[in-house]
C-alpha cells in the first residue's frame, strides 16, 4: 500500500557558506491515510519547513516528497498549484481569510477555482459550516467573527476541496485555551468520523495530547517518534 505522504532524505538549506543553516537534514517520513499526527520540537527545529515542503509551498534542496505516489518536488507552476488545490488543505496560524468575502464566500472560493457548479458549491458550503459549528454565520465577513470563528472558517475552507490531507501549521497559536480546545475537538471529530488525515506542526500541548502519533524534530532531523 502506497503511503499518503512519503518523504525520502528530504533536505532544505537556508543561507550559504558558513552562514548556511540546515533547516531539514535528510528527513524520511511516511504518513498513512487517516492519521492524526503532530510534528513537534523546539522553535527552529524544522517543523514548519517540513510542513511547507510536504504541502508543496517550498522546494527541497534534495530528496523527494510524494503525495499518493506523485513526487511534488519535481512539479512547478500551474501543475503544482492545481495539484495543491485539489489534494491538500491548509490551515495556518494566521487565518488568511479574504477580508472582503463572507464566511461562505471564503469557503466557496477554492471550489470556484475547481469549476464546481453553483448548486454543489452551495450545498457543500452549508455542510462545511454545519460541521465546524458556524451555521447561520455564512454572511459574516472575517472582521465580524472572533479569532476562533475565523479559524473554523479556515478549517471549513481547507475541507471544501475534499483534500487527501489537511496540513495545519500552529493552528491554535493565536487562540485562547478554551477556543483552541474547541477547534481541536472539531478536527478530531473530522478525523474519527470522516477519516480525514491531519498533520500538525506545533508546540501546543493541547495538540500534542490529542495526536495519535508524535514526530519529534530537533536541528532538522527526526529525533524520535511515539504513538499514543
* Domain ranges for the chain: 33-48+75-227
- Residue 38 CA to residue 54 CA, distance in Å, equals 13
Q: What is the reported pLDDT for 2?
A: 80
Number of Cβ within a 10 Å radius of residue 24: 29
Q: Which residues of the chain have pLDDT under 70?
A: none
* Residue 45 DSSP one-character state: S
Residue 205: CB partners within 8 Å, gap ≥ 6? none
- Residue 173 CA to residue 203 CA, distance in Å, equals 9
Q: Nearest Cα to 140, choosing from 128, 154, 130, 153?
A: 153
- Residue 72 CA to residue 66 CA, distance in Å, equals 6
Question: What CATH number matches the domain at 33-48+75-227, 3.40.50.300, 3.40.1440.60, 3.40.50.970, 3.20.20.70?
Answer: 3.40.50.300
Residue 24 pairs in a beta bridge with 12
Three-state secondary structure readout of 50-79:
HHHHHCCCCCCCEEEEEECCEEHHHCCHHH
Q: What is the reported pLDDT for 176?
A: 87
Q: What is the reported pLDDT for 75?
A: 84
Q: What is the reported pLDDT for 88?
A: 92
The pTM for the full model equals 0.91
Number of Cβ within a 10 Å radius of residue 163: 20
User: Per-residue pLDDT tens for 42-64?
Assistant: 888 999 999 999 999 999 999 99
Amino acid at each position: 500500500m502506497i503511503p499518503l505522504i512519503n518523504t525520502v532524505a528530504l533536505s532544505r538549506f537556508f543561507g550559504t557558506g558558513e552562514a548556511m543553516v540546515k533547516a531539514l537534514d535528510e528527513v524520511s517520513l511516511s504518513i498513512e491515510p487517516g492519521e492524526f499526527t503532530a510534528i513537534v520540537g523546539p522553535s527552529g527545529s524544522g517543523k514548519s519547513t517540513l510542513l511547507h515542503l510536504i504541502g508543496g509551498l517550498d522546494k527541497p534542496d534534495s530528496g523527494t516528497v510524494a503525495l499518493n505516489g506523485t513526487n511534488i518536488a519535481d512539479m512547478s507552476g500551474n501543475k503544482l498549484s492545481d495539484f495543491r488545490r485539489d489534494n491538500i488543505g491548509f490551515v495556518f496560524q494566521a487565518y488568511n481569510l479574504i477580508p472582503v468575502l463572507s464566511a461562505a464566500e471564503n469557503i466557496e472560493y477554492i471550489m470556484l477555482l475547481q469549476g464546481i457548479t453553483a448548486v454543489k458549491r452551495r450545498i457543500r458550503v452549508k455542510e462545511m459550516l454545519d460541521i465546524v459549528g458556524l451555521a447561520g454565520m455564512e454572511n459574516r465577513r472575517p472582521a465580524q467573527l472572533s479569532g476562533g470563528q475565523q479559524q473554523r472558517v479556515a478549517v471549513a475552507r481547507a475541507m471544501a476541496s475534499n483534500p487527501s490531507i489537511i496540513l495545519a501549521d500552529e493552528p491554535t497559536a493565536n487562540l485562547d485555551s478554551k477556543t483552541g480546545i474547541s477547534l481541536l475537538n472539531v478536527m478530531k471529530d473530522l478525523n474519527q468520523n470522516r477519516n480525514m488525515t491531519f498533520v500538525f506542526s506545533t508546540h501546543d500541548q493541547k495538540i500534542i495530547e490529542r495526536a495519535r502519533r508524535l514526530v519529534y524534530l530537533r536541528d532538522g532531523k527526526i529525533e524520535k517518534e511515539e504513538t499514543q
